[in-house]
């Protein structure tokens, strides 16, 4: 049996229910189209990235930076979701640099020497875009007094809100979902700046998937956008469309990383 994993935006609970409904539609649609061994439910494994290079992968969602760093040539791009949150522009999205609402911080320069939180060193939204935003302000490869890895964007939000960190970069989809479904979580925070935009989190399948399988996946995703019974799920997910992007379309993600390197700031530090 193949596996499917859509684990990027499943918190808080309304998002998990909507994601499950989306998969149930895709599952049934793909089976009607004749695709064999479509899994009945989404993979619930301990780590979403375990699915990315799984030999039985049917569909998963990755991040642009892991894609350009580790997955190119090993997976096939299926489509990139288009979300409707502020900060999204078609399939492109930015991150919001957040601080506490009462912090005496008015510019990116003002966060020099503060404590940063990142969700994951390989995250495009939490690390790569953040690094580019502050690279020109760095000195000798340093900018922050400390950098803590939290494991998720929600944990980074909580770290800033609780005062264990002073600043973090949160992808605009997570921030929009949190404002909508858990407003108390971000009530004491404010957006200091928006980062550059880059292509968002692509859906992928295994590298040896056939062209026909790719077409079937894209066809089902397209029908999911127009299916009347999925309107509520699309609304919960703020899902507007799916865009088919090429490998070349993700090259700006890699170029942003190279730009930070050229400015002498290869790592968040």
Q: With 0-12 CB in 10 A as exposed, 13-18 as middle and 19+ as buried, what is 184?
A: exposed
**52 touches 204 (CB < 8 A):** yes
Structure tokens at 9: 């935006």
**High-pLDDT (> 90) share of the chain, %:** 96
Confidence of residue 45 (pLDDT cuts 50, 70, 90): low
Length of the chain: 269
**CA distance linking residue 29 with residue 38, whole number of Å:** 10
What is the model's pTM?
0.95
**Above 70 in pLDDT, residue 46?**
no
Nearest to 175, CA basis, from 229, 214, 119, 222: 119
**CA distance linking residue 29 with residue 26, whole number of Å:** 5
Which pLDDT score is estimated for 23? Answer: 98
Nearest to 198, CA basis, from 154, 254, 247, 261: 254
**Identical fold between 3-85+200-254 and 89-198:** yes
**What does the angle CA 47 – CA 148 – CA 87 come to, to the nearest 5 degrees?**
75
DSSP assigned state of 102: T
**CA distance linking residue 245 with residue 137, whole number of Å:** 32
Mean pLDDT score of the chain: 96
Out of 3.40.190.10, 3.30.390.10, 3.40.50.12280, 3.40.630.30, the CATH code matching 89-198 is 3.40.190.10
Q: Mind giving me the DSSP string for 103-164? A: SS--SGGGGTTSEEEES-TT-IIIIIHHHHHHHTT-BTTB--SEEEE-SSHHHHHHHHHHTS
Q: What phi and psi, each to the nearest 5 degrees, are found at residue 115?
A: -100, 120
Structure tokens at 123: 């995250």
Domain ranges of the chain: 3-85+200-254, 89-198
Which pLDDT score is estimated for 50? Answer: 85
Q: How many helices (H) and strands (E) does the chain have?
A: 8, 13
User: Quick count: other Cβ atoms within 10 Å of Cβ 31?
Assistant: 14
**High-pLDDT (> 70) share of the chain, %:** 99
State how far the alpha carbon of 119 is from the alpha carbons of 14, 16, 128, 140, 151, in Å.
22, 20, 11, 24, 5
**Above 90 in pLDDT, residue 34?**
yes
| Residue range 183-237, pLDDT digits in tens | 999 999 999 999 999 999 999 999 999 999 999 999 999 999 999 999 999 999 9
Q: With 0-12 CB in 10 A as exposed, 13-18 as middle and 19+ as buried, what is 114?
A: middle
Class of the 3-85+200-254 domain?
alpha beta
Residue whose entry in the numeric block shows the structure tokens 């980062």: 195
| Residue range 108-138, pLDDT digits in tens | 999 999 999 999 999 999 999 999 999 999 9
Helix, strand, coil distribution of the chain in percent, nearest 5 = 40, 20, 35
Residues pairing with 80 in the sheet = 243
Which pLDDT score is estimated for 43? Answer: 87
| Residue range 57-82, pLDDT digits in tens | 999 999 999 999 999 999 999 999 99
DSSP assigned state of 188: T
**Above 90 in pLDDT, residue 3?**
yes
């Amino acid at each position: 049996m193949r596996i499917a994993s859509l684990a990027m935006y499943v918190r808080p609970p309304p998002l998990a229910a909507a994601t499950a409904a989306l998969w149930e539609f895709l599952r049934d649609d793909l089976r009607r189209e004749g695709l064999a061994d479509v899994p009945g439910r989404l993979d619930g494994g301990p780590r979403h990235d375990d699915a990315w290079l799984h030999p039985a992968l049917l569909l998963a969602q990755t991040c642009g930076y892991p894609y350009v760093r580790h997955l190119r040539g090993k997976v096939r791009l299926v489509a990139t979701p288009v979300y409707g949150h502020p900060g999204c522009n078609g399939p492109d999205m930015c991150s919001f640099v957040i601080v506490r609402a009462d912090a005496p911080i008015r510019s990116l320069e003002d966060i020099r020497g503060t404590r940063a939180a990142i969700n994951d060193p390989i995250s495009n939204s939490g690390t790569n875009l953040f690094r580019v935003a502050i690279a020109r302000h760095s000195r000798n490869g340093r900018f922050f007094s400390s950098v803590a890895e939290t494991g998720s964007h929600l944990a980074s939000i909580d770290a800033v809100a609780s005062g264990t960190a002073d600043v973090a970069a949160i992808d605009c989809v997570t921030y929009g979902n949190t404002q909508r479904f858990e407003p108390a979580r971000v009530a004491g925070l404010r957006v200091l700046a928006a980062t550059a935009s880059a292509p968002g989190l692509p859906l992928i399948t295994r590298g040896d998937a056939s062209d026909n399988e790719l077409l079937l996946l894209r066809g089902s995703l397209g029908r999911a956008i127009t299916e009347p019974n999925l309107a509520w799920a699309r609304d919960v997910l703020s899902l507007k469309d799916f865009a088919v992007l090429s490998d070349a379309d993700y090259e700006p993600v890699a170029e942003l990383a190279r730009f930070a390197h050229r400015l002498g700031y290869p790592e968040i530090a």
